[in-house]
Amino acid sequence: MIAQVPPEAQNKRLIIAKIAVVVLYAVGVIGLSLPEYRELFLKLTPAQLLLSLVILLGYHRGWSDAFPIFATAAFWIGFGAEILGIHTGYLFGDYVYGTTLGPKLWDVPIVIGVNWFILVYLTGTVFHKATDNDYYAALLGATAMTVIDYIMEPVAVALDFWYWKFEIIPAGNYFAWFGVAFLIHLIYRKANFDRENPLAAWMLVAMILFFTILNFTLEL
Q: Encode the chain (220 residues) as per-residue pLDDT tens digits.
A: 344 566 777 788 999 999 999 999 999 999 999 999 999 999 999 999 999 999 999 999 888 899 999 999 999 999 999 999 999 988 888 999 999 999 999 999 999 999 999 999 999 999 998 889 999 999 999 999 999 999 999 999 999 999 998 788 899 999 999 999 999 999 999 999 999 999 999 999 999 999 999 999 986 5
Domain that holds residue 73: 12-217
Contact 169, 95 (CB under 8 A): no
Q: Which residue(s) pair with 109 in the sheet?
A: 104
Report yes or no on 168 lying in a domain. Answer: yes
- Give CA 176 to chain center in angstroms: 16
- Give CA 26 to chain center in angstroms: 17
- Is the sign of the CA dihedral 18, 24, 26, 29 positive or negative? negative
Burial label, 110 (beta-carbon count in 10 A; 0-12, 13-18, 19+)? middle
Using CA atoms, how far residue 173 sits from 85, 145, 159, 188, 201, in Å, is 10, 12, 19, 22, 26
Compute the distance between CA of residue 138 and CA of residue 120 in angstroms, rounded to an integer: 10
Compute the distance between CA of residue 82 and CA of residue 73 in angstroms, rounded to an integer: 14
- pLDDT tens for 122-171 read 999 999 988 899 999 999 999 999 999 999 999 999 999 999 987 888 99
For the chain, first and last CA: distance in Å?
A: 56
Of 59, 48, 67, the C-alpha closest to 206 is 48
Q: Which DSSP helix (H) or strand (E) runs through 83?
A: helix 66-88
Compute the distance between CA of residue 139 and CA of residue 124 in angstroms, rounded to an integer: 10
Compute the distance between CA of residue 198 and CA of residue 195 in angstroms, rounded to an integer: 10
Number of domains in the chain: 1
Report yes or no on 22 lying in a domain. Answer: yes
Phi/psi at 109 (nearest 5 deg)? -55, 135
pTM, entire model = 0.92
Compute the distance between CA of residue 91 and CA of residue 202 in angstroms, rounded to an integer: 31
Report yes or no on 3 lying in a domain. Answer: no
Report yes or no on 7 lying in a domain. Answer: no
Compute the distance between CA of residue 85 and CA of residue 89 in angstroms, rounded to an integer: 5
Report yes or no on 128 lying in a domain. Answer: yes
